[in-house]
Structure 1
Amino acid sequence: MTAPRLRARLKGWGGVGAMATACALALVFALLLTCTGSLNSDAATGRPVSHSEEARAHTQTRAEEECTAPEKQTLSPSGADGPTIEEIKNRQGEKRKLIVGVDQNSYRWGYRDPNSGQSGELEGFDIDLVHRIAEDILGDRDAVQFKAIPTDQRIPAIEAGRVDMVVRTMTINCDRLQDVAFSAPYFKTGQQVLAPKSSPVEGYDETLADREVCTATGSTAHSTLEADQKTGRLPESTDIRTTVPNQLDCLVRLQLGEVDAVVTDGALAASQAAQDPTIELKGEAFTAEYYGVAMKKDADDLVRRVNQILVDFREDASDGWESSYADWLSATLGDDPSASKPPAPEYLRKS
């Protein structure tokens, strides 16, 4: 329709009414956009995405970009009680226990030894730390309810309140800091390749080309492989699609010949190699990472208390960090614990 014809149709009260109606509709539409956010399309899913969702995603991306040295993003130590600790202490009777998510299949970390003579009780380095925390908070090292959780359920268990904390060889990283709070580091490790001794795989390098690699769902290993494949550090032909709920399931798949290699924390890989003489670590660790105790984002008093317990645990020469290392990890990681000791903690998180 030409401009002159449009102006002709709008002459008189009928034209004025049409214009008023159009303006009213435009105002209503604008208000709806203000309230609900205009919709764009998510390129990956085709699902409409509102401006508010875009803003939240942008905020999270910016937080991740600004996150440096995640192992330092924790609160300063304190021995004081707070609301989270009081709630734990106020549990009655048999329920007056610290509820902790752990592993029961990680040799030397959190596992049941049928030959221990202790009715298959959980034991290992992580378990020692849990007992230490329970003793400090509740005055009884055995006041613990252990909950075995798979690798991919560590964060959901914390967020849903099914556990007070997770002590399960859990790496502190920027992505996880968006969902949970961490203590200061209690162990240093790094990602490493595990493969059969007869395998031509030599490490985290071009020998992984055309090989199938297994990682645990939601693990640091898997996110590292995804990122490195995009940047070219990992060969494009490396198949990283195989993921499992529990990291130990990767070892089983390796033993069955269903995958060519496993990528996981070197500390865990060394324990798995000790269980099976046909496999070994290939190459050196290609990352530097730190294990921490994970808790709810708003459990500030518990985070501070655990950090104080870790200070004491590291300094205890008779029954602390070094003693636990000697008992559980020296056989797989060597007698010298210096490479596994985390650096002196820094507490950069203010609130």
Structure 2
Amino acid sequence: MAALAMVLLASACGTGGGDSAAASPVAPSAHVPIEVGVPDPKLPPPVSAPPCDPSRSLTPSTSARAGAMPAGTTMRAIQDRGKLVVGVDQNTRMFAARNSNTGQLEGFDIDLAREVAKAIFGDPDRIQFRTIPPGRRIDVLVEQQVDMVVDAMTITCERRQQVDFSAVYLEDALRFLVPKGSQVNELADLAGRYVCVSSNTTPERRVAESKAKVYAVADRTDCLVALQEGRVAAAYTNASLLESLREQDPWLEVRGPTAVEEVKGIAVPKGQTDFVRFLNGVLERLRTEHRWQELYNNWLAKALGPAGQPTTTYGG
């Protein structure tokens, strides 16, 4: 199933613009959800976490100059290594996907990561991308296999017990990808039916705590195939990620609440507060120089509509 998802994705990426006329011509009759006996995953209990404000972060640091990171800092260690190692996705259009013509990763998250490399080295190409599935994002940070993860990752109080986050760089709603004509607007409408989610994500836990059935996948694009094969009634995750899938099939639509429920940040290994402050300084510079707006308009505005850079409350 994952292989088929990659074929569909590569075909869509080749269009360069997400035109629905070039999307997979799956007939509406194919979208009849069927149950396939997928066992509900046994989720680990939530990590005990005190209440927190996901939109609050450490005061930015703006004194470091590209190519001259202060001695003894996380950024200096990265500079001395010669490259910034970043965990990203490779299958989510608009955010991080391979261009079928060049083979290079591109998208909003990719450009954001390059801005960090530019701030450290003065060169956005001093970067190494490591593609990881959503379910491994925390693991690769805990194991310090990457310097940071940029993958539309939701900031939660639970995750903050394991990793640290930058300031918010994107706000999002949790919505549903469903066949056109579906009346699904909330999880209660999916009681007893399978809902596709990425494993080890906040949507997975929400579905598990509802009366719907969890259909967990390792890769987001597998949810598109599961819908097309009639294995699930809906896919459930952030609206921005669902829009990247919707572009590939004209018989699907995004429905559900539009209120902001989640905020996204750059994740780094726990305890690297100097790096968090540095990243917050980068994000603030992108705001004042209108660079964030340029990136958003280039990659996301067409699908998500107009938006401005989220605000963050700083302290500490």
Fold agreement, TM-score > 0.5: yes
Aligned residue among 239, 255, 271 for 2:213: 239
Once residues 259 and 205 of structure 1 are traced to their aligned partners in structure 2, the CA distance between those partners, rounded to angstroms, is 13
Query: Shift of the alpha carbon at 1:209?
Result: 2.3
Aligned residue among 277, 285, 296 for 1:325: 296
In the alignment, does 2:90 pair up with 1:104?
A: yes
In the alignment, does 2:74 pair up with 1:84?
A: yes
Q: Does the CA contact (< 8 Å) of 1:111 and 1:122 recur in 2? A: yes
TM value normalised by structure 2 = 0.80
Q: Does the CA contact (< 8 Å) of 2:178 and 2:252 recur in 1? A: yes
> Where do 4+ consecutive residues of structure 1 move more than 4 Å?
none
Q: Which residue in the other structure is 1:337 paired with?
A: 307
In the alignment, does 2:112 pair up with 1:129?
A: yes
Amino acid at match of 2:205: S
Pairing 1:70-219 to 2, within 5 Å after superposition? 70-72=54-56, 74-79=57-62, 80=64, 81=70, 82-91=72-81, 96-115=82-101, 119-198=102-181, 200-219=182-201
Query: Shift of the alpha carbon at 1:205?
Result: 4.6
- Structure (1 or 2) with the larger CA radius of gyration: 1
Query: Shift of the alpha carbon at 1:152?
Result: 0.5
Pairing 1:52-63 to 2, within 5 Å after superposition? 61=48
Amino acid at match of 1:207: D
Aligned residue among 260, 284, 288 for 1:315: 288
Q: Which residue in the other structure is 1:30 paired with?
A: none
- Gaps of at least 5 residues in structure 2 are 1-41, 65-69
- Cα offsets for 1:165-199 (capped at 9, x unmatched): 0001100001110100000000000211111114x
Once residues 273 and 337 of structure 1 are traced to their aligned partners in structure 2, the CA distance between those partners, rounded to angstroms, is 20
Sort the Cα spacing of 1:104 and 1:288 in 2 relative to 1 into closer, same or farther, 3 A.
Answer: same
Amino acid at match of 2:52: T
Once residues 95 and 85 of structure 2 are traced to their aligned partners in structure 1, the CA distance between those partners, rounded to angstroms, is 18
Once residues 198 and 55 of structure 2 are traced to their aligned partners in structure 1, the CA distance between those partners, rounded to angstroms, is 21
TM value normalised by structure 1 = 0.72
Q: Which of the two has greater strand per residue?
A: 2
Once residues 298 and 235 of structure 2 are traced to their aligned partners in structure 1, the CA distance between those partners, rounded to angstroms, is 26
Q: Does the CA contact (< 8 Å) of 1:192 and 1:263 recur in 2? A: yes
Query: Shift of the alpha carbon at 1:275?
Result: 1.8
SS at match of 2:61: coil
Q: Which residue in the other structure is 2:261 paired with?
A: 288
Q: Which residue in the other structure is 1:220 paired with?
A: 202
- Cα offsets for 1:77-118 (capped at 9, x unmatched): 113434211111111xxxx11000011100000011214xxx
SS at match of 1:258: coil
- Cα offsets for 1:308-333 (capped at 9, x unmatched): 0000112222xx11111111112211
Q: Percent identity?
A: 38
Q: Does the CA contact (< 8 Å) of 2:175 and 2:258 recur in 1? A: yes
Q: Does the CA contact (< 8 Å) of 1:77 and 1:305 recur in 2? A: yes
